[in-house]
Amino acid sequence: MSAAVQDDRAESIRMIRDSAAAVAPPGGDLKRVRELRFQDPGFDPAVFREMGEMGWIGLRVPEAAGGAGLGLGEACALAEELGAALVPEPLIPAMLSAAILAGTPRLAKLLAGEAVLLTAWQERADTLEVPGNADASRRFIPMAAGATALLLPVREGRKLALYEHPAAGLTIERTQDGGNVGSFTPDLAGATKLAEDVGPALEAALEEAALLTGAYLLGGMERAFAMTVDYLKTRSQFGRIIGTFQALQHRAADLKMQLALTRASIESAAAALDEGATGDARRAAVSRAKARAAEASLRVTRECIQLHGGIGYTDQYDVGLYLRKAMVLANQYGSASLHRKRFMAVSPEVEE
């Protein structure tokens, strides 16, 4: 990649980060997030529409199909900024849906943020496989309480057809962070067929959703760590700033290393996919990044709470919200354990 192209790409990523300030205030104010917790639908439909107007839902959709046609470097940068602000709107699930709606009349409304179309692909916990059984219950649909309709992949012979299914009849459960997930048993009698085969598109979209979730987790743990460093620099105990205690400095240094390694993994994976990685190389890059992000986010946010002492364990103090979010997203689109196993199975770096 030439220097000019690299500069253009860096500018594009910077502009995407700047645009996130529209819904993710850089000052870290979580008042809006707190107001939406444990409420239905758990996010603000007006903010979701704003995301559509800014082109975020179609960020990865080709320009010819009405999207922005940008790369995963830009998408991960956006997800990171939203993670730092704990933005609850289901952007990543919507981007997954947009990826499989190419060529259908439903895409335009989703890209505009006028319809919240969520893909009900998961039949069991901790998987990236899509069996597509027509009568199997679909589970773990993120922020399903706000769904306009559901996209239902169904196995028909060797193809994975796509249906639009009404969102009525969902069972909604609260999640640790105050959001929700939905489950339901499909009834194709009330569904509309949208596409004959979305199998390859859905497989690629799930890979990207896993990577974007890792980037979101990275943004959250970096913000939690920054809050913790500020606290260590100001809190006094025994007549000293606690950040001067060597034991706490060592723990903070360990967390800083976790952040650096996670960022390197996310950015390396995004670059590999943007450069056209396919097959096992693509899967290995995504799994390495998601496994590290899932584990590091839980470790970093837990230790940030501990480093705050008693105040960190109160719900009124914001640092705990980042642990709650990590607990929900660490297993979304595959747990660390699943991705480690997959990496071992497909990575050329691992010898027999």
Alpha helices in 188-276 (DSSP H): 199-234, 246-274
Question: What CA–CA distance (Å, rounded) separates 216 from 75?
Answer: 10
Q: Which domains does the chain have, with CATH numbers?
A: 201-346 (1.20.140.10)
Per-residue pLDDT of the chain (352 residues; tens, 9 = 90+): 666 666 677 888 888 988 898 888 776 789 999 999 999 999 999 999 999 999 999 999 999 999 999 999 999 999 999 999 999 999 999 999 999 999 899 999 999 999 999 999 999 999 999 999 999 999 999 999 999 999 999 999 999 999 999 999 999 999 999 999 999 999 999 999 999 999 999 999 999 999 999 999 999 999 999 999 998 888 766 667 766 667 778 899 999 999 999 999 999 999 999 999 999 999 999 999 999 999 999 999 999 999 998 888 888 899 999 999 999 999 999 999 999 999 999 986 654 4
Q: Check residue 352 and give its pLDDT.
A: 43
Question: What CA–CA distance (Å, rounded) separates 96 from 61?
Answer: 10
Q: How far is C-alpha 84 from the chain's CA centre? A: 12
Short-list 43, 134, 150, CA closest to 96: 150
Question: What CA–CA distance (Å, rounded) separates 51 from 65?
Answer: 18
List of residues 6+ apart from 297 with CB closer than 8 A: 217, 218, 220, 221, 262, 326, 329, 330
Q: How far is C-alpha 151 from the chain's CA centre? A: 19
My answer on whether omega of the bond before 41 falls inside 30° of 0, hence cis, is yes
* Bridge partners of residue 156, in order along the sequence: 159
* Bridge partners of residue 151, in order along the sequence: 119, 164
Give yes or no for a contact between 158 and 132, defined as CB atoms under 8 angstroms apart: no
Classified as helix, coil or strand, 20 is helix
Give yes or no for a contact between 128 and 113, defined as CB atoms under 8 angstroms apart: no
* Bridge partners of residue 161, in order along the sequence: 154
Residue type, 42: G
Q: How far is C-alpha 315 from the chain's CA centre? A: 23
Classified as helix, coil or strand, 154 is strand
End-to-end CA distance of the chain: 34
CA distances from 198 to 131, 133, 152, 153, 154 (A): 13, 14, 10, 8, 10
| Structure token digits, residue 161 | 């057809």
